[in-house]
């Protein structure tokens, strides 16, 4: 689910991005989900229609990988273990694979809302040549 | 906020730029319903400006089930029409069309895929642009296929299975023509969409269907110059050539008639189809106007609602509830003359035996000249009415353009029917009985007859 975020504000200003990047990286690592082999998008709460639809729209391989990562993470959590260092999610692998789909679905819903709220007005400009003659 | 004025801006702008159009009553009333053909940036166009406030516009593509690369692709491509394109979503297309007061439709037949719209005259540029977008920039996304297209295909499949008539006709065509024209129009089993259909295969087929040499734009109720101008403007982005088709020679080769017999058990309803090699289209090389006259002589359907009619087969029908229909199905290079009988199993059997007896009597010359004259008049009327009818005329013209660069020649076919003699009709009936027939029986097979019981050769 896309929540209000300062990220676009920061990313637009390169000086701010450069300043905040190291802090952001430290935070993502410190969150610990990477040590369980998860990606950031695996953590998105899925108990709503939008995310459920986004998950249905995932390509088969992505869906399978997601389920595998979650099962592995549950098992680790159950046995109070972490993955060995080599198997931690690398920062390059931690791509937002689900967020673009969620944003697409939200854009579709918003478009529907906008169209529903549309107000139709008659064209105000007069036709210069009079009504069309039909036989 | 989208306001109607924003949507109509394009249409209004074009209106101001042109002087008032004068439509001359004399042109439309001259009696000829011929289409004017032309070429706009490589795209074949045809238009006929019949007076009226609406326009019907269609993109007729040579992508019917005959030309599909794999089973089910035509159906999939038809259902993908008017889905989201690069520029706008499916919802927006539908809402905008609704606001303009238009109807969108897409359907396919054995040889053509027709994507069209009916709208008010002023909105011509909008819909030419829409068709161009459908042809060149539809997004064939997997989730659109799974969520929106596949349920419709499954529905078409169920509808087909529920209708013995559709099954019988499909079976007759398959027996008669094997591949090509014999491919079922609706999916007859789940195999097409479980095994062959996917969003990317449909996208690949779209490159064939929407390549410039393979489709034509046909308009009814639009000025030729206008249509030409807008097609020039919007259809530039459509690909000029289809990808190399390794099976093209197989698909384009002359259809051959085979014939045979098939019996399919069905629980609800009975349908029997007796089919014979028929006439191709006028430009097809095997045009036989006597087949059309023979079809209307056999008849079966009445133009009067409360009477079963007085054609030979309607008199031969075993009961008022038995419906008999004779049709000369004309395709670009082949045709099928079929008699379709529906009703209870006993009545269908009885009517079929009578129908074959009627054919024998025509071949033996025992039909009066007056009957044949009536049949000729009915056939001519049917022909002219079909040409005049907007939907049928659009498809026929588009098909003619894509198959042979010649629009449907209504006057010539009507003249040819006029010139049919009694001897030709008799000879045609005789040839039918001597050639290999196609018999499809669907329903209660215990009662439905075999071809041998009817005396037909298969």
Q: What's the mean pLDDT in B258-284?
A: 92
- What domains can you pick out in chain A, each with its CATH number? 7-107 (1.10.1090.10)
Contacts of A130 in chain B (CB under 8 A): 20
A118 shares contact with chain B (CB less than 8 Å): yes
Q: d(Cα A12, Cα A28) in Å, to the nearest integer?
A: 20
Judged by average pLDDT, the poorest of A102-116, B216-230, B301-315 is: B301-315
- Per-residue model confidence (pLDDT) at position B35: 84
- Per-residue model confidence (pLDDT) at position B50: 80
Contacts of B5 in chain A (CB under 8 A): 121-125
| Residue predicted with more confidence, A126 or B430 | B430
Is the pLDDT confidence value at B15 over 70?
A: no
pLDDT-based confidence at residue B303 (cuts at 50, 70, 90): confident
- Per-residue model confidence (pLDDT) at position A127: 54
Residues B65 and B74 sit within 8 Å (Cβ to Cβ) = yes
**What residue in A sits closest to B12 (Cα-Cα)?**
A127
**Interchain contact, B91 vs A120, CB within 8 Å:** no
CATH dotted code for B260-454: 3.30.830.10
Residues B364 and B434 sit within 8 Å (Cβ to Cβ) = no
Is the pLDDT confidence value at B13 over 80?
A: no
| Residue predicted with more confidence, B315 or B203 | B203
A126 shares contact with chain B (CB less than 8 Å): no
Work out the percent of chain A whose per-residue pLDDT is above 90: 79
Task: Quote the minimal CA–CA distance from B196 to chain A in Å.
Answer: 17
Judged by average pLDDT, the poorest of A96-110, B22-36, B106-120, B133-147 is: B22-36
Q: What is the pLDDT of residues B115-174, one digit of tens each?
A: 999 999 999 999 999 999 999 999 999 999 999 999 999 999 999 999 999 999 999 999
**Interchain contact, B3 vs A118, CB within 8 Å:** yes
| Residue predicted with more confidence, B304 or A85 | A85
Is the pLDDT confidence value at A131 over 70?
A: no
**What residue in B sits closest to A112 (Cα-Cα)?**
B91
- Per-residue model confidence (pLDDT) at position A4: 85
Choose the closest CB to A118 out of B2, B20, B122. B2
| Residue B326, burial from CB neighbour count under 10 angstroms (0-12, 13-18, 19+) | buried
Judged by average pLDDT, the poorest of A26-30, B29-33, B235-239, B301-305 is: B29-33
Q: d(Cα A41, Cα A54) in Å, to the nearest integer?
A: 11
**What residue in A sits closest to B6 (Cα-Cα)?**
A123
Judged by average pLDDT, the poorest of B194-203, B230-239, B245-254 is: B245-254
pLDDT-based confidence at residue B10 (cuts at 50, 70, 90): very low
A114 shares contact with chain B (CB less than 8 Å): yes
Q: d(Cα B267, Cα B269) in Å, to the nearest integer?
A: 7
**Interchain contact, A123 vs B99, CB within 8 Å:** no
Q: d(Cα B448, Cα B214) in Å, to the nearest integer?
A: 43
- Per-residue model confidence (pLDDT) at position B9: 52
Q: What's the mean pLDDT in B435-458?
A: 94
Q: What is the pLDDT of residues B381-403, one digit of tens each?
A: 988 888 888 888 889 889 988 88
Q: What is the pLDDT of residues B218-247, one digit of tens each?
A: 999 999 999 999 999 999 888 888 887 766
Domain ranges of chain B: 36-249, 260-454
Q: Number of residue pairs across A and B with CB atoms under 8 Å? A: 61
Task: Quote the minimal CA–CA distance from B59 to chain A in Å.
Answer: 26
Give Cβ neighbours of residue A58 (< 8 Å, ≥ 6 apart): A66, A97, A98, A101
**Interchain contact, A125 vs B12, CB within 8 Å:** yes
Q: What residues of chain B have any CB closer than 8 angstroms to a CB in chain A?
A: 1-5, 8, 12, 15-16, 19-23, 25, 28, 51-53, 89, 91-92, 95, 99, 121-122, 142-143, 146
Contacts of A134 in chain B (CB under 8 A): 23, 51-53
Calculate the average pLDDT of chain B.
Answer: 87
Q: What is the pLDDT of residues B327-381, one digit of tens each?
A: 999 998 899 999 999 999 999 999 999 999 999 999 998 888 998 999 999 999 9
The A residues from 4 to 63 touching B (CB cutoff 8 Å) are 56-57, 59
Q: Write out the two tokens for A50.
A: 């939008």
Choose the closest CB to A134 out of B53, B95, B143. B53
- Per-residue model confidence (pLDDT) at position B210: 94
Helix or strand run (H / E) with residue B438:
strand B438-443
**Interchain contact, B1 vs A118, CB within 8 Å:** yes
Contacts of B19 in chain A (CB under 8 A): 129
| Residue predicted with more confidence, A133 or B84 | B84
Q: d(Cα B227, Cα B219) in Å, to the nearest integer?
A: 8
Is the pLDDT confidence value at B288 over 70?
A: yes
Residues B47 and B227 sit within 8 Å (Cβ to Cβ) = yes
Please state the pTM of the whole predicted model: 0.85
Calculate the average pLDDT of chain A.
Answer: 89
Neighbours of B425 (CB within 10 A): 24
Judged by average pLDDT, the poorest of A96-100, A105-109, A125-129, B391-395 is: A125-129
- Per-residue model confidence (pLDDT) at position B33: 67
- Per-residue model confidence (pLDDT) at position B28: 39
Bridge-based pairing of strands B438-443 and B260-265 is parallel
Separation in Å, CA B131 to CA B81, B217, B237 = 9, 9, 12
**Interchain contact, B4 vs A123, CB within 8 Å:** yes
Work out the percent of chain B whose per-residue pLDDT is above 70: 92
Strand ranges for B49-185 from DSSP E: 54-61, 103-108, 113-120
Q: What is the pLDDT of residues A59-98, one digit of tens each?
A: 999 999 999 999 999 999 999 999 999 999 999 999 999 9
Is the pLDDT confidence value at B54 over 80?
A: yes
Contacts of B90 in chain A (CB under 8 A): none
**Interchain contact, A114 vs B1, CB within 8 Å:** yes
**Interchain contact, A120 vs B99, CB within 8 Å:** yes
The two most distant CA atoms of chain B are separated, in Å, by 74
- Per-residue model confidence (pLDDT) at position A2: 64
Q: What's the mean pLDDT in B163-190?
A: 92
In this structure, whether the domain defined by B36-249 belongs to CATH 3.30.830.10 is answered with: yes
**Interchain contact, A108 vs B89, CB within 8 Å:** yes
Task: Give one DSSP letter per residue of B173-220, joined into a string.
Answer: HHHHHSSGGGS-SS-SSSHIIIII--HHHHHHHHHHHTSGGGEEEEEE
- Per-residue model confidence (pLDDT) at position A104: 93
- Per-residue model confidence (pLDDT) at position B244: 78
DSSP-based three-state secondary structure for B53: coil
Work out the percent of chain B whose per-residue pLDDT is above 90: 63
Tell me, yes or no, if the two domains B36-249 and B260-454 fold the same way: yes
Is the pLDDT confidence value at A3 over 80?
A: no
Contacts of A55 in chain B (CB under 8 A): none
Task: Quote the minimal CA–CA distance from B259 to chain A in Å.
Answer: 45
Residues B219 and B54 sit within 8 Å (Cβ to Cβ) = no
What distance, in Å, lies between the first and last C-alpha atoms of chain A?
Answer: 57
- Per-residue model confidence (pLDDT) at position A29: 92
- Per-residue model confidence (pLDDT) at position B412: 83
């Amino acid at each position: 689910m896309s929540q209000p975020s300062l990220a676009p504000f920061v990313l637009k200003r390169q000086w701010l991005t450069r300043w905040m990047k190291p802090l952001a990286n430290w935070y993502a690592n410190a969150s610990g989900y990477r040590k369980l082999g998860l990606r950031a998008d695996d953590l998105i709460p899925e108990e709503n229609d939008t995310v459920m639809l986004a998950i249905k729209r995932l390509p088969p391989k992505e869906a399978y990988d997601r389920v595998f990562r979650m099962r592995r993470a549950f098992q680790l959590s159950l046995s109070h273990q972490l993955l060995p260092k080599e198997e931690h999610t690398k920062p390059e692998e931690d791509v937002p694979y689900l967020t673009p789909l969620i944003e697409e679905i939200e854009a579709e819903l918003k478009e529907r809302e906008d169209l529903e709220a549309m107000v139709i007005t008659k064209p105000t400009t007069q036709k210069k040549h009079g009504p069309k003659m039909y036989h | 906020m989208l306001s109607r004025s924003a949507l109509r801006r394009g249409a209004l702008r074009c209106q101001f730029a042109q002087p008032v159009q004068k439509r001359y009553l004399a042109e439309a009333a001259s009696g000829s319903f011929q289409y004017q053909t032309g070429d706009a940036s490589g795209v074949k166009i045809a238009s006929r400006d019949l007076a009226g406030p609406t326009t019907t516009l269609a993109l007729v593509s040579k992508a019917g089930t005959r030309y599909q690369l794999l089973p089910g692709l035509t159906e999939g491509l038809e259902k993908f029409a008017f889905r989201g394109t690069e520029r706008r979503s499916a919802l927006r297309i539908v809402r905008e069309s609704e606001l303009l007061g238009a109807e969108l439709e897409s359907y396919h037949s054995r040889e053509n895929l027709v994507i069209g719209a009916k709208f008010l005259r002023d909105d011509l540029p909008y819909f030419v642009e829409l068709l161009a977008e459908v042809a060149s920039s539809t997004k064939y996304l997997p989730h659109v296929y799974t969520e929106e297209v596949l349920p419709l295909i499954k529905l078409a499949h169920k509808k087909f299975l529920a209708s013995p008539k559709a099954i019988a006709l499909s079976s007759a065509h398959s027996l008669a023509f094997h591949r090509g024209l014999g491919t079922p129009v609706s999916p007859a089993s789940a195999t097409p969409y479980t095994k062959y259909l996917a969003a990317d295969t449909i996208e690949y087929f779209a490159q064939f269907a929407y390549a410039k040499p393979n489709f034509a734009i046909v308009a009814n109720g639009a000025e030729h110059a206008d249509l030409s101008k807008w097609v020039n403007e919007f259809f530039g982005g459509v690909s000029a050539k289809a990808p190399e088709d390794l099976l093209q020679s197989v698909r384009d080769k002359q259809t051959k008639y085979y014939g045979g017999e098939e019996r399919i058990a069905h629980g609800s309803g009975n349908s029997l189809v007796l089919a014979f090699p028929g006439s191709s289209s006028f430009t097809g090389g095997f045009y036989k106007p006597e087949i059309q006259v023979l079809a209307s002589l056999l008849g079966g359907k009445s133009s009067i609602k409360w009477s079963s009619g007085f054609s030979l087969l309607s008199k031969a029908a075993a009961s008022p509830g038995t419906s008999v229909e004779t049709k000369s199905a004309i395709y670009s290079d082949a045709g099928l003359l079929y008699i379709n009988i529906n009703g209870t199993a006993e009545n269908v059997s009885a009517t079929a035996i009578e129908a074959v007896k009627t054919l024998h009597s025509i071949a033996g010359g025992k039909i009066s000249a007056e009957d044949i004259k009536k049949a000729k008049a009915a056939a001519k009327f049917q022909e002219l009415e079909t040409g005049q009818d907007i939907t049928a005329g659009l498809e026929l013209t588009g098909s003619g353009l894509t198959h042979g660069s010649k629009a449907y020649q209504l006057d010539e076919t009507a003249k040819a029917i006029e010139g049919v003699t009694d001897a030709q009709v008799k000879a045609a009936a005789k040839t039918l009985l001597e050639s290999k027939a196609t018999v499809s029986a669907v329903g209660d097979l215990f009662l439905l007859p075999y071809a041998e019981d009817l005396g037909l050769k298969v």
